Structure 1
Amino acid sequence: MTHEHQAVPSKPPVDDSHVEKYRRRAIAASGIGWGLDGFTWTMYGFALTAAMPVLGMSEGASGWVTAISIVASAAGGVIFGNLADRFGRINMLTVVILGYSIFTALTATSQHTFDFLLWRTLEGLFFGGEWAVGAALVAEYARPEKRGRSLAIVQSCYAIGWAVSTTAYLTLYSIFPPEVAWRYLFLVGIIPALAAFVIRRTTKDATEISGQSKPDEGKSEGKFARLFKADLRARTLSATLLGVGVQGIYYSVFIFLPTYLQEDRGLSIVGTATYTWVAIVGSFIGYVASGFLLDAIGRRPTFLFFFLGSAASVSLFVLTPAAQPELGILIILLLGFFASGQAGGTGAYLAELFPTEVRATGQAISYNFGRGLAAFGPLTVGIAAASIGWGYSIMIIAIAGAILGIIALSLLPETKNSQLVSAID
């Protein structure tokens, strides 16, 4: 009796045009999400100065509110990163955009410091989830040789969101008195919720397109436990330290920039907006430039370049006499370039450090635990500002962040051209 061997059906080939269509949509969806993230988060810095006297909030209290909201964003990043590994990137991207839009708008209703803290904490919870989910989505679609620039382009959308919030700030503060205008500024934060529905209906996960199983299919092991097993533990901890350095620089510099410009430099609303626009232009250029450098010279050299530049440019800006505004404009352009450029590589680098089944969770933990620990930076800035001023406080934390980031780089491998989801490349 003879037996015929039954052929195992092969996976159908992936249509390149189909993949390219969804690759573009994934980059657009994550870019929109990150840009709207930037829109809702940066308006906080503009609103804070006017909101503090209305709510009876001290400088120290503002530092605590900022720190707690950043810690909440760290928790949110871990929660939604884990959920994205279980239920898909697009599903969770939709949820987080809805969440941070609603709670940004509710911040406008604050009557006391406690209300303000509550809404900022809830907004932070969802805000933190967007980066981990969107970065994993784009990293899995991007071609290995272009992953750095793809993720950097997505992160450059944050500068666009920042530009929109600056425009809203300038417009609303010219129409309404500051003690009321900050409420309207937060209220427009509901607008991004509309984008969530479009993204959900038009975009798919890379694993859906490639036919690859979902990240946790067949995996009984917990995501968090997997990241701290022997083969990934050192990498997870070092990546988290990198997150502390990146977030420590970014948040300490940009959250308090409007307050520093108005209180230490004595600038008007128009003057603050002008300096901010220059920083935004520098930021956009820094994001994009970092992407091309990541793909050209590698991850570690690019991060080192931007860390050193961040420490130097922040120091130059703070130490430049206020009587020389033309020099200050040039230096704040460099500050935006380096302080944003040092964050531009995190999406690509962190994605390449973790395997697919725990990628979003690993990125979320390293980036957002880093963010949670980095919250002590803005907290320290807020507390120290009363004695040494906003400028020196910001400078000290930025330098400390650069040092921590450089230490982390020495412990992490180079990952240029790493393959992630090979079925669609």
Structure 2
Amino acid sequence: MQEENQKIVAQESLEMTPYSWKVLWFVFFAWVFDAADGTIYALTLPIIREEFGLSLWQMGMVGSIFLGGAVIGSIILPYLADRKGRRWGMAGCIGLYSIFSGFTGIAQNFYHLALARFFTGSGTGGEWPIGAAYLSEVVPAKKRGFAMGLMQSGYPVGYFLAAAIFAGFVGLNLGWRGCYFILLIPAGMCFWVLMTLKESERWLKGREEAKLDRNKANVSFRELFKPEYRKFTIIGTLLHIFGGFYSWGLVLWFPSVLMLDFNIDKLTTSYITMFMWGIATIGYVVAGPLSDKIGRKPTLTIFVTSSLICVSFINYLKTIPGVPLSAIYVIAALIGCGMGAHTVLISYSSEIFPSHVRSLGLGLAVAVGKGTSMLAPFILGVIAQKYSVSAGVLVAVCIGWLMVPTIFTGPETAQKRLEDIITSPTIGQ
């Protein structure tokens, strides 16, 4: 155990090491393909619906099945990662979603599609908490925000990759199925991970401690609700619940705001949305180093509050006839920047749990957040129906703003060693 402690101290005293960079680029590309899968599904769904003769009810059911798989994966796979290691956890997630994304390409009916999307969702659900836990444990304290920001920037990169894959296959009349066969590529990453990446020193230290304390080896959800960890579990869970509404409002409903409230045509809406994602890439990357410098709490406050002001302004603009397109692009840029809040969200929630239950704690927070935010489309739909889509987005961002008072109930984590944020006592005492 002394050897692991020495390695951890040495790791914290250095800049990013080649090993840290390997893990960072690994989780980055894993997140790229995760985002690419979801985007390709959204792009190909109209074609799949026509070929399979799916009803709107069946389309919605497949979406719910996918989310159900994501919730289950967010719990089970992080649990395994805390027991068997971060490498095996990530390899399992990537292998699961990659193989079943490929299975989508050979689906012949609704049942095949539902099965494929369930297991794809399970893999993607576990990836975020395990990847964030792995990264937070191998990156120096003063670089954790930077690393998480770069990881998060993989999502918009995946969005553009999916658009390119879709254009290449469907645009050239090669069929939609090939899009999913491309997503088998990440499965090859699993072998690379297991052959070249080392296990997290902090996780190894936790395993050594478990040999001295059998109770500590029995990781369970009960552990997260013991008095010494309960507060952090509640904070992390609330952050992901509010963050889920924030994401639904800004990402999924913004195109509808453009088309329904501002009467912008579909082609122009697609350009504005792509522009927003391009800026979001910058927002993700900038939020990380900024939070390393000034703290997680101030950075989250800045990004979420600016989004709230921006969405409030949108609700004002829709009452004015003839809003110039340039103003819409400015709003899209500000909303893209606001997505940087997710960098702080995942950074903070991966730091507040002790190493022996870090993946499990983060997985539970993500799972509850995903499960609760499934209510968001219904709630926002009711508001949009009665008032406007912009009003629904405003409500979502207001709920998202509750991340600010929530994070202020916990400790500041920027530039602190993980061991200094929360001290893990001997389990069972």
Q: Is the 8 A contact 1:81 1:129 kept in 2?
A: yes
Q: Tell me the CA shift for residue 225 of structure 1.
A: 0.7
Q: Tell me the CA shift for residue 88 of structure 1.
A: 0.5
Q: What is aligned with 2:328?
A: 328
Deviations, residues 294-345 of structure 1 (Å, cap 9, x unaligned): 111111111122222233444555755787433322221221221x211111
Residue 307 (structure 2) pairs with residue 310 (structure 1):
yes
Residue 223 (structure 2) pairs with residue 226 (structure 1):
yes
Q: Is the 8 A contact 2:104 2:113 kept in 1?
A: yes
Residues 212 and 352 of structure 1: is their aligned pair in 2 closer, same or farther, counting only changes over 3 Å?
same
Q: Is the 8 A contact 1:140 1:421 kept in 2?
A: no
Q: Is the 8 A contact 2:152 2:343 kept in 1?
A: yes
Q: What is aligned with 1:245?
A: 242
Residue 139 (structure 2) pairs with residue 139 (structure 1):
no
Q: What is aligned with 1:47?
A: 44
Q: What is aligned with 1:293?
A: 290
Residue 202 (structure 2) pairs with residue 203 (structure 1):
no
Q: Give the Cα separation in 2 of the matches to 1:142 and 1:271.
A: 41
Residues 100 and 369 of structure 1: is their aligned pair in 2 closer, same or farther, counting only changes over 3 Å?
same
Higher alpha-carbon deviation: 118-127 or 100-109:
100-109
**Structure 2 counterparts to residues 400-415 of structure 1, below 5 A:** 400-415=398-413
TM-score using structure 2 length: 0.82
Q: Which has the higher contact order (CA 8 A, sep 6+)?
A: 1
**Structure 2 counterparts to residues 27-38 of structure 1, below 5 A:** 27-38=24-35
Residues 211 and 400 of structure 1: is their aligned pair in 2 closer, same or farther, counting only changes over 3 Å?
closer
TM-score using structure 1 length: 0.83
Q: Give the Cα separation in 2 of the matches to 1:378 and 1:160.
A: 25
SS in 2 for 1:190: coil
Equivalenced residues, count = 409
**Structure 2 counterparts to residues 171-182 of structure 1, below 5 A:** 171-176=168-173, 182=176
Q: What is aligned with 1:193?
A: 187
Q: Tell me the CA shift for residue 389 of structure 1.
A: 9.3
Unaligned runs of 5+ in 2: 421-429
Q: Give the Cα separation in 2 of the matches to 1:47 and 1:135.
A: 29
Q: Give the Cα separation in 1 of the matches to 2:86 and 2:400.
A: 31
Q: Tell me the CA shift for residue 393 of structure 1.
A: 7.2
Residues 95 and 210 of structure 1: is their aligned pair in 2 closer, same or farther, counting only changes over 3 Å?
closer
Q: Tell me the CA shift for residue 209 of structure 1.
A: 9.7
Q: What is aligned with 1:356?
A: 355
Residues 12 and 306 of structure 1: is their aligned pair in 2 closer, same or farther, counting only changes over 3 Å?
closer
Higher alpha-carbon deviation: 74-83 or 60-69:
60-69
SS in 1 for 2:413: coil
Residues 63 and 327 of structure 1: is their aligned pair in 2 closer, same or farther, counting only changes over 3 Å?
farther
Q: What is aligned with 1:337?
A: 337
Residues 60 and 247 of structure 1: is their aligned pair in 2 closer, same or farther, counting only changes over 3 Å?
farther
Unaligned runs of 5+ in 1: 1-7
Which AA in structure 1 matches 2:343?
G
Q: Give the Cα separation in 1 of the matches to 2:113 and 2:124.
A: 16
Which AA in structure 1 matches 2:242?
G
Q: Is the 8 A contact 1:107 1:119 kept in 2?
A: yes
What is the root-mean-square deviation in Å for CA atoms of aligned residues? Answer: 3.5
Residues 50 and 189 of structure 1: is their aligned pair in 2 closer, same or farther, counting only changes over 3 Å?
same
Q: Is the 8 A contact 2:148 2:347 kept in 1?
A: yes
